[in-house]
Chain A
Amino acid sequence: MGRTIAEKVLSKKSVEQREVNAGDYVGVKIDGLMLNVTTSQVNDKAIEAGLPGGLPRLWDTERVYMMTEHHQPPQSELQARRNKIARDLAARLGVKYFHDAEPGVCHQMMCDYGYVRPGEVIVGPDSHCTLYGALNAAGAGIAEPDAAYAAVFGELWLRVPDSLKVSIEGELPNSYPVAKDVVLYLAGKYGDDMAQYLAIEYKGPAVREMDMAGRMCLADHGVELGAKFALFEADEKTLAYVRKRTDKSFEAVSPDPDAHYSREITVDLEEVGIRVAKPHTFDNVVPIEEVAGKRIDQALIGSCANGRLEDIEVAARILRGRKVAKGVRLIISPASYNVYLQCLEAGLVEPLVRSGAQFLEPGCGVCTARLAYMADGEVSITCTTRNYRGRKGSPKAEIYLAGPATVAASAVTGVITDPREMLNAASK
């Protein structure tokens, strides 16, 4: 029987070099280890394991990518201390790829710098490692004890997941990025555990048409659907994206034509429309018509989900000739320094700032309880990753999730707003 991408990648990378199938437990040689904000805690785990001084070595300094990202610049003394430990570790272990004084979201930086290549297995202590699937890499989040083991030996145990095929059909809207609406639609219809322990394979004509930013949004949110991996095949867009960033060799992996999927779902973009997740779970999703008019205090654009050039560009288009509503905080945080530079070069930043947007340094603060806190009773609409209770401070604050166009349009009116009318007006 044919094999899925997950089965083929994990067979190729299995320690024993054997063919594996969904349900097998297998030792896997990893291609990359991403170490981020929790690097010092990974070393703490090695100390806790009884290794004097912590990690005794890295299995391969060509394959470890370290960055202080979330904690750059440090927002507390603890963060500063942890960054310092990471810096000392990088020197002691001979880390070759270390990004220190550079704010950003680790996953975007991993892609920006060409550290993610098709056909690879890449893990790291952050749930959104699924994003690497946009580049045909099997990316999965692990925790610090696991990361300590992986750092020393370059191996991990994994269960080979069953695969869920999601085909996206229909025409992509030409005026706004639709990936967030698609993933919210999926969560709303099938539940936030629809892909629990599974590898999603995204396919279909609309996926082929979709740009890398859209694919990254879908892959990133794989974890919000419970997935272990969220994979795309590598096509000419993937190869162009990767080759521009690295000259390292790689081998893309496609599924066999007769691969077995435990479930197959088709999404028709006609049905998706504009979607919003209400508080406090990712699958509490409604069509925008049901929540339009809800007053907001804060509107956020950024994160590994929707902090790329394409997301900020649509916000700039919507805000052209308009102002952020009085009393509303529109906060934009590009996903990385590279993205920030792209926005500057494209001339997006100045008009957005003139419209009343606040720019934050690139990073994860916009998405978590690090920056842009909310008080009891406040309401936020955001295209970041999660709307869980208390994610932005008060458990009595409300977080609505939507695509970047919806967030920008809502910032203009001060209430949750369908962006399509403003987009039509902007294109005229």
Chain B
Amino acid sequence: MLHLSEFVIRGRVWKFGDSVDTNIIAPLHVMRKGEIEEIARHTMAAVRPEFPEQVRPGDIIVAGANFGCGSHREEANLVLEKVGIRAIVAESVARIFLRTSTNLAFPTLVAPGVSSLVEDQEELEIDYPKGKIRNLRSGRELPLPKYAPSIEQIFEAGGILTLLKERCIREGLI
């Protein structure tokens, strides 16, 4: 389980522009078979054909404004975790994508200025407890705004599905 209070990572950056929509992340025409592995073979390929082949566990996505806009599509959240992305840091994130990340306890972070902090393939450090992100090559850093306390609690619980199960047990539904 991910604990935000200990969430400090370093990873290679894949940098994207503004308005990367959920159909780029999880293209509908490959979702037909319903298999996340199939989506993983095509994720982000419409804008970065090499991404599905070259992405490695531990990598970080840095994006411009409105990341994850478009259709609600849980697969878009799931597939990036599946291919090994550890965190997303964007100028801004579309509301449903951000909400779903929270409910899945996957760190999608909003840090204005991040696009000019790092270049593609550079190393970024995310230090959630200290509230900082840092370009490891240049040493430059930016503040990383934290989630609201009630959102941090969803992360600490392990996501909404854990909360669902716990409440079902508490209320005698299972």
Contact = CB atoms under 8 A, between A and B. Distances in A.
Interface of A: 25, 41, 45-46, 48-52, 56-57, 76, 78, 125-127, 141-146, 148-149, 152-153, 157, 159, 191-193, 196-197, 223-224, 226-228, 281-283, 368-370, 373, 386, 388-391, 393, 395
Contacts of A153: 164, 167
B96 A391 contact: no
B161 A48 contact: yes
A146 B23 contact: no
Interface stretch (B2-10, B70-78, B80-88, B122-130): B70-78
B69 A226 contact: yes
> Chain B interface residue count: which class?
35 or more
B24 A389 contact: yes
Q: Which 3 A-B pairs have the closest CB atoms?
A: A49-B161, A143-B100, A395-B46
A421 to B, nearest CB: 33
A196 B70 contact: no
Given A50-B165, A192-B69, A193-B65, 14 more contacts: A46-B164, A48-B161, A56-B168, A57-B173, A78-B32, A143-B77, A143-B103, A145-B160, A149-B163, A153-B164, A193-B69, A226-B94, A370-B28, A395-B46
B32 A143 contact: no
A143 B77 CA distance: 10
A146 B100 contact: yes
Interface in B24-52: 24, 27-29, 32-34, 46-47
B99 A146 contact: yes
B36 to A, nearest CB: 12
B121 interface: no
A193 B92 contact: yes
A127 B72 contact: yes
Contact of B168 (A125, A152, A192, A388): A152
B151 interface: yes
B161 A148 contact: yes
Interface string B91-106: 0101110011001100
